[in-house]
Amino acid sequence: MSRVIVVGRSREYDARMQALLGEDIATVMGAYLSFGAQIALDQLAGDDAEVALLGPFLSYEDASELVTALLRRFPDLGLVLVHENHAEIEEWVSELPFHSVLSPTADDETVLELLGEMRAWLIEAGDVDGEAPAYGAIPTQADAEPRLAVVTEESGLAELDEIDELDDVQEAAPIGDVQRLAEITTVSSEHGEDGRVIAVVSPKGGLGKTTVATNLAVGLARVAPLSVVVVDADVQFGDVATALALSPDHTLPDMVAGLAPRDTMVLKTFLTVHPAGFYVVCGSDDPAAGDRVSGEQVGHLVRQLAGIFRFVIVDTAPGLGEHALSVLDNASDAIVLCSMSVPSVRGLRQELATLAALDILPGQRHVVLNFADRVSGLTAKDVEATIGVPVDVAIPRSNAVALSTNRGVPLLGEGSRDPAAKALNQIVVRFDSAAAKKRGRAHRRVVVA
């Protein structure tokens, strides 16, 4: 008999409620929501549910569909929203028939108290037969309709009609609980250190930054699943979402405004998940909205993400504008690209010289020669002589790269044996510590086939 349903995208929260409520609970994995709310709820057995906890980490669209499907199956169900972002509660509660709002970091006693009150009210309303069973040591009260409440650890239950402004509600979860909750959807960097920030830059456009960034994300996601995020920092005309065939609910401007810059949990609800096992901060479709994002905001976002993820890959705009410089100032690595054209090579030389003069060239530099061939009139040695540093990887010109970009499927996600895929894997290996030890640190001269 499962009287409490939990539907969310947090395995840790599900496990915690399972341990607290035992046989009284049935959980539905958030992954099923990709197939629709009705299919997700088909995983439930029986029709004896009394209360549903929806969240954490559900989108408004997920919650809306779930409420409709749940009430169709359980007309008298008590609905509780499990949500941390209080800035959105007013809209959610006004448009969806939730009875209470519960913080995901509320302690067990508070959860039991709220469930007890919900159960008691359902009995009084005649929607549930029998005496209210005790979920724990907290006695139930059947003297009033349950309060529409925001639950925090310090204050317990606070009636919404006693709160003048929702913004006044403080989130009082201990740092340890917040950190454990933060580990649900991402894998933090090793040993508690900040992750590697990899800036992908070039002096001019059209040199393959997005191709390298997205393929690197796919490759590193195999090394560190769910611990890689790629950021589209070309604020006006970024096309990472297009290259990955994504339709994001939230984009870069959402990540740098509101609560997200101050609340990591909110930030993570805005990230777009790619099926290959990494996260994406997509650029805005509206150049005007993207233009309102400052370099300082991008830098803050990169630092936030580096505290969560093992690898932060940033696809920058061409040149050394405000946003690219802010990213480089926070980067541990820079992948710098050029092609086998004289303007591109000279541009890279000037870019490297400028970064050195500004003293913001990251400690780890990886020079990538893209669109490499033997008919351009230049050789890899010519490029190295001009820019003054070795070329680390040469990506041969390939029709397969253009085809994969147009399809929205990175070359490394297809298992391609194309020479370009082999070269892109060489870039991935440079960030895989285990593979790097086998490869050795000595520079190997690039040969253009």
Domains and CATH numbers, the chain: 4-125 (3.40.50.2300), 196-435 (3.40.50.300)
Higher pLDDT, 419 or 91: 419
d(CA 349, CA 386): 7
Using the predicted structure, report yes or no on whether residue 388 has a pLDDT greater than 70: yes
Using the predicted structure, report yes or no on whether residue 147 has a pLDDT greater than 60: no
Could you give the count of Cα atoms lying within 13 Å of 370 in the half-sphere of its Cβ?
A: 25
Convert the pLDDT of each residue in 170-197 to its tens digit: 333 333 333 333 333 344 444 346 789 9
**Which of these ranges, 135-144, 256-265, 291-300, 428-437, has the smallest mean pLDDT?**
135-144
Convert the pLDDT of each residue in 39-78 to its tens digit: 888 878 776 788 999 988 888 888 888 999 898 888 888 8
pLDDT confidence band for 232 (50 / 70 / 90): very high
Convert the pLDDT of each residue in 4-36 to its tens digit: 999 988 888 888 898 898 888 888 877 777 778
pLDDT of 2: 67
pLDDT of 86: 59
pTM for this model (two decimals) = 0.60
pLDDT confidence band for 446 (50 / 70 / 90): low
d(CA 15, CA 195): 28
Give the dihedral sign, CA 39/44/50/55: negative
Residue 152 dihedral angles phi and psi, to the nearest 5°: -130, 165
For the residues 259-278, what does the mean pLDDT come to?
A: 86
Contacts by 397-401, CB closer than 8 A, 24 or more apart: 397/371, 397/372, 397/373, 401/208, 401/211
